[in-house]
Amino acid sequence: MKIVIVTDAWLPQVNGVVVCIQQTVKFLRKSGHDVFVIGPDRFRNIPCPTYPEIRLALFAKKRIFSLLENLEPDVLHINTEGPLGLAARSYAAKNELKYTTAFQTRFPEYIKARTGMPLSWTYAYLRWFHKKSERVLVPSKTVQDDLMEWKIGNPEIWSLGVDIETFKYQKSPSKKRKTKVYVCTSRLAVEKNLGDFLGLKVDGEKWMIGDGPDAINLKKKYPDVKFFGNKTHQEISEIYKECDYFVFPSKTDTFGLVLLEAMACGLPVAAYDVSGPSDVIGNSKGGVLHDDLLEACKRVTKLKAEDAVKHAKKFSWEKSVSNFEKLLELN
């Protein structure tokens, strides 16, 4: 099949949505499909207000129409609800082309955290955006239930995976540190609730990987924390060799690929018992879910690295992409 994926989140951005698309494209091509990604890199673009890493395409409609007419896709998947998603949606409506969409980011919650805008406003937009989609692909049962409650589209579960070639368990032989290391990888932004991790009084060191608009303020507020900035996946995997546990304070993620990546490297996870972590960890021995993050950090020390790895390996990109292929069958 000739598959076109339209997304406002694409390289050189570094986030879970981009990783998901990269891995999906990789395995779709391995299966023999022709796959084309239309991202903001093909257009004049500007930084998104309050989220400059995301680039918003300008005057996208005419170019999108031209690209899609030339590509003549068998399947159109619109992965995001931004300018490119809107333009692709318009093309599909005009040409009576069936398509799928995805809901992978809780932007209503992000926007509320930053501006105070009521959730009902942004969810009303999402309800309109996904209305004509054949299927809205979501990463978990919890998100599926949430969208059904908001009466958004026809949500179907598209569970994600982990790159076990890059993220693998291999403790550093050079590690001589007796002090335990608690690490978190995240965008440094208000919606990630990082203060709950950075301010914890844990029996060990706290390391923070990632960058974002709150970086300067967080570094000043938490001088006892070691900040690494943005790192490649390979570099993160190397850092994880020196760590013991992964802490995930976010309450707004739809899934949390970083949880799987950490567990694949042998780091049991401490997280809040909320949507996202609960879908990834569940009742496994890969992590601890608790309403009190400090209590989760205390309990996670009793878990074994091998059990975290075992649980992470249940989530493969091969399985995820096979599921994606089936969800694209619209005839």
**pLDDT digits 0-9 by tens, 292-310:** 999 999 999 999 999 999 9
Structure tokens, 242: 């020196």
pLDDT cut 70: percent of the chain above it: 97
When pLDDT is cut at 50, 70 and 90, the band that residue 116 belongs to is confident
Kindly state which CATH superfamily the domain 2-161+316-327 is placed in: Glycogen Phosphorylase B; (3.40.50.2000)
pLDDT value at 16 more than 80: yes
Per-residue confidence (pLDDT) for residue 114, from 0 to 100: 79
The 3 state secondary structure assigned to the chain is CEEEEECCCCCCCCCHHHHHHHHHHHHHHHCCCEEEEECHHHCCEEEECCEEEEEEECCHHHHHHHHHHHHCCCEEEECCCCHHHHHHHHHHHHCCCCEEEECCCCHHHHHHHHHCCCHHHHHHHHHHHHCCCCCEEECCHHHHHHHHHCCCCCEEECCCCECCCCCCCCCCCCCCCCCCEEEEECCCCHHHCCHHHHCCCCCCEEEEEECCCCHHHHHHHCCCCEEEECCCHHHHHHHHCCCCEEEECCCCCCCCHHHHHHHHCCCCEEECCCCCHHHHHCCCCCEEECCCHHHHHHHHCCCCHHHHHHHHCCCEHHHHHHHHHHHCCCC
pTM of the entire predicted model: 0.91
Contacts of 59 (CB under 8 A, 6+ apart): 43, 44
CATH code for the domain defined by 181-312: 3.40.50.2000
Residue pLDDT, tens place only, 130-165: 999 999 999 999 999 999 999 999 999 999 999 999
Distance, in Å, from the CA atom of 163 to the CA atom of 23, rounded to the nearest integer, reads 8
Q: Report the largest interatomic distance among the alpha carbons of the chain, rounded to a whole angstrom.
A: 63
Distance, in Å, from the CA atom of 82 to the CA atom of 63, rounded to the nearest integer, reads 15
Per-residue confidence (pLDDT) for residue 290, from 0 to 100: 98
pLDDT value at 319 more than 80: yes
Which residue, 125, 176, 182, 133, is CA-closest to 153? 133
Distance, in Å, from the CA atom of 9 to the CA atom of 260, rounded to the nearest integer, reads 21
Which residue, 250, 20, 315, 281, is CA-closest to 138? 20
Domain ranges across the chain: 2-161+316-327, 181-312
pLDDT value at 208 more than 70: yes
- Cα 310–Cα 314–Cα 318 angle in degrees, nearest 5: 135
Which residue, 8, 192, 175, is CA-closest to 86? 8
Residue 6 · residue 300 · CB < 8 Å: no
For the chain, the average pLDDT equals: 93
In the Cβ-directed half-sphere of 172, how many Cα atoms lie within 13 Å?
12
pLDDT value at 183 more than 60: yes
- β-bridge partners, 183: 207, 246
Distance, in Å, from the CA atom of 254 to the CA atom of 277, rounded to the nearest integer, reads 9
The answer to whether 2-161+316-327 and 181-312 have equal CATH topology is yes
When pLDDT is cut at 50, 70 and 90, the band that residue 331 belongs to is low
